[in-house]
A and B are shown apart, each in its own frame.
Chain A
Amino acid sequence: MSEPLGAVISRLIREASGFNTLNELTVDVYFQKSPGNDAGDQRGIENLDYRLERNGRVLQQGRTGPDGKIEVPVRGNTPTVLKLLHGSVEQAVYEVSVRAGALGLLTNLTGQKQRLRLLGYHIGHSGIDGDGVDNINAMAFERSVLDFQADHGLPDNANTADNNCTNRLRTEAGA
């Protein structure tokens, strides 16, 4: 349901290292009323008006469908600014960037937090990216683990993500 407003693509000379490659990824950001993969239970936030901008230029605008999904193009280290609107009034601002590479190991806190964050669980805003992903055990992490375990009917095991939990995290968020 998005409406592309144009993107600049330049062709490099043949000898250039980035010849005929486009250093732009499109990532899927889902706005949901509750965390976790949608199980056909209307978690998506529908009718969110949004606008995507980079370096002050408008890339795209649109309105979310029932799944709450927004496809966000992200180029290199430059974050894409995602603005939620009501009418034409800017309501909320997100700065979307991409972290390349595999998710961290499920046996450590960082890997567990990455997956909980990916699934939308509320782990706070600590860490260098401000998204709660670090290796510090704290109340927000324990709560999010308990939330995840409760949502999946797993035995609760407090702040220690046990095998039941880590296996399910792998299933839900990726290896």
Chain B
Amino acid sequence: MANRPVRIAVRNNRQIVCPVRFVRAVTGDVQDDAPDPDDRGFAMGTRPGTWNESLARGAMVGITTGQEVRLKVLREDIDDQAELYVTSSRPDIVSVTAPAGGGPLPGDGVFRIQAHRDIRRDELGGRPVAIQVRLGAADGPVLGELEPHVFNQRQIRLTFHFVTIYGTATNRLAATAADRAANIDPLVSGANRIWRPGGIWFTYSEARVPTEEVRRNPATNRTEYRRTNGTWAPLPGPLGAAGQFVNAGALTSDPRWGAAAEYREFDTMKNINPIANTVNVYCVHDSFAWSAADNRYNNNDWLGLSDITTVAEAGQPGYGLALTDDADHYALAHELGHYLGNYHSDMDAANNDVANGDMWICRRLMYSSWPPDAPEPAWRQDVGYGHRAAAALIAVKDLPDAVERQDGEIARSRPRARRPY
């Protein structure tokens, strides 16, 4: 916040002053009513045709229809005594609910808006709604603008499978259905807090949490899985009847198996008793990967795995995800982001994850977190979610590929969420 007076040292006889910008209303863990506005640059980026062109230049934020959210005006270059008001260009679509009358804003700069309905492309003369910060009164001059984008909610059903491999079970497995559900609820509710700005909502049935088991048949020494009718059967492909899992309780990957087969254990797991018309989430205890440098398998290699699926792949079996016991709601939301068609935010033109490229990448839900070393400079280790904590920005903007190759997650995910299975 700028103190009074704001000092301007003019160079080259010219100075531009932009008094405000919009930021998240809270810091720390993601909260349901406090989305992270996409303030990456002031240009609005490439937009799907249905979004129409905005006259605003500034941040964008996604909101689910009916939701009320908090946002914050940051006084970058206006002093803390200036009376600021917040208004909507179309209150029937997005209204300002606090402070009453739009202002003056409290000292912390936090205000609330509520989304009432998604708009058709031909409404509003083709212009999206703008939330405007004004000086002195609700009819004062406009100092800055934010574009809220309203999305009708789309639901996606999940099925969690608790997996035991060679006697080692996921820690999420519990004796009672209630306890099993208690192990899942934080994952799903957290993922919903993260994806709500995209209008995407995940559900699961507490009554249907399958337990899967993989064993080695003592008579044949072949690996088998238990079918839903209780009988044992040879492993499905790609491991198949002669295949086996390398490590108890874990999914293992190994580049020595070849590019197409590196994740053959994961690909096999997804074919074990999948439930139709849901996204199947297989919870395993751990993950292993072959390390050429160490000449052995190292554990805790990943928290989650998912296929990156597209609308064209809807209706095809064999897609799902896996989570280890260390995975939290950020990991589930991240893997669901892959399932909804998104690559890592830090993937370069050669499809490699780059090293903690910049603070925007570190703030994105789809950041690979690779390499696992602490990002440098140090400020990239806390981008608003806590020290070295995962972050949750889902990009509303689709910036030019030269700037960010893999953003625009909401626009990419919405069509996939319409046909998710």
Q: Which of the candidate stretches B225-233, B282-290, B398-406 sits at the interface with the other chain?
A: B398-406
A33, B5: Cβ atoms under 8 Å?
Answer: no
The residues of B that contact A156 with a CB separation of less than 8 Å are: 357-358, 360, 403-404
Q: Per DSSP, are chain B's interface residues mostly helix, strand or loop, or mixed?
A: loop
Q: Are B8 and A131 in contact (CB under 8 A)?
A: yes
A173 to B11, CA, bound (A): 10
A46 within 8 A of B: yes
Which residues of chain A are near B19, meaning CB under 8 Å? 31, 45, 92
Residues of chain B contacted by A36 (CB below 8 angstroms):
16, 42
Question: Complex Cα distance A169/B172, Å?
Answer: 54
Chain B residue with minimal CB distance to A131? B9
Are B6 and A151 in touch, CB under 8 angstroms? no
Bound form: Cα–Cα A30–B10 in Å? 11
Q: Are A32 and B18 in contact (CB under 8 A)?
A: yes
Of B79-87, B177-185, B301-309, B365-373, the one touching chain A? B79-87
Question: Which of the candidate stretches B89-97, B139-147, B317-325 sits at the interface with the other chain?
Answer: B139-147
Interface size band for B: 35 or more
B4 within 8 A of A: yes
A74-B8 Cα distance, complex, nearest whole Å:
12
Most B C-beta atoms less than 10 A away, residue of A32, A34, A96: A34
Residue A168 at the B interface, CB < 8 A?
A: no
* Distance of B272 from chain A, by nearest CB (Å): 42
Asked if A41 lies at the interface with its beta carbon under 8 angstroms from chain B, I say yes
Given A30-B16, A143-B359, A153-B402, A94 and B41 contact (CB-CB distance below 8 Å): no
Q: Is the C-beta of B235 less than 8 angstroms from some C-beta in chain A?
A: no
Are the C-beta atoms of B14 and A34 separated by less than 8 Å? Answer: no
Interchain CB contact (< 8 A) of B135 among A27, A35, A84, A139: A84
A118 touches B16 (CB 8 A): yes
Q: Which of A118-175 contact B (CB under 8 A)?
A: 118-122, 125, 129-131, 133, 137-139, 142-143, 146-151, 153-159, 173-174
B residues adjacent to A (C-beta < 8 A): 2-19, 21, 40-43, 55-58, 76-79, 81-83, 135-137, 140-145, 357-360, 377, 379, 399-400, 402-404
